[in-house]
Amino acid sequence: MPTISRITPCLWFDTQGEEAARFYTSVFPNSRITSMTHYPAVGQELHGRAAGSAMTVAFELDGQQFTALNGGPAFKFTEAVSMMVCCDNQDEVDHYWQRLGEGGEERECGWLKDRYGLFWQIVPRVLMDTLVEANPARVERVFAAMLKMRKMDVAELRRALAG
């Protein structure tokens, strides 16, 4: 039995939890599905799922544990919760932007909504490192550059950082 983290994000899907978990584990290195549970026959009138259909899928994305729950159509993802992917270089930004964006929707400032409705922030480390530094002029320049972007452009952010 896999070890369960003390805190594990649970992502509510209608019926696509297993499909989404398989997709996400194909995008990130060091990722895998660790276990699945299935709906029992008992309580079918309450949960509305066929006995034996996937109920939960436990999976890891680069070591971070998640659970996908096929809970039905009652709830949808919003921008209020997003997954942030910190990238070391433009190649990583491009990879995650392209793969997670397949069949989804691009947003501004490095945000996208994937085909399952989950929101992602694809963020270069240079942006995160700059925003926490104490030089207000550098922060202003980099932030202003970021506001003009959809997919993050590492070279442009570095130019803004240099002034």
What CATH number does the domain containing 89 carry? 3.10.180.10
Tens digits of residue pLDDT in 70-108: 999 999 999 999 999 999 999 999 999 999 999 999 999
Nearest to 9 by CA among 109, 120, 122: 120
Q: Does 135 share its domain with 87?
A: yes
How confident is the model at residue 3, as a pLDDT? 65
Residue-level pLDDT at 2: 55
- Among 22, 38, 70, identify where a domain stops: 70
**Alpha carbon of residue 113 to chain centroid:** 9
Instruction: Name the token pair of 32.
Output: 């895998």
**What confidence score (pLDDT) does residue 147 get?**
97
- Looking at the domain assignment, is residue 126 inside a domain? yes
The stretches in the chain having pLDDT less than 70 are 1-4
Whether 22 is in a domain gets the answer: yes
Would you say residue 2 lies in a domain?
no
The structural domain count of the chain equals 2
Query: What pairing do the DSSP bridges indicate for beta strands 119-124 and 111-113?
Result: antiparallel
Q: Which residue has the tokens 């929707």?
A: 105
Which residues lie below 8 Å from residue 68, measured CB to CB, with a gap of 6+? 10, 11, 13, 17, 18, 20, 21, 56, 57, 59
Q: Mark whether 31 and 62 lie in a shared domain.
A: yes
pLDDT at residue number 45: 72
Range of the domain at 95: 82-162
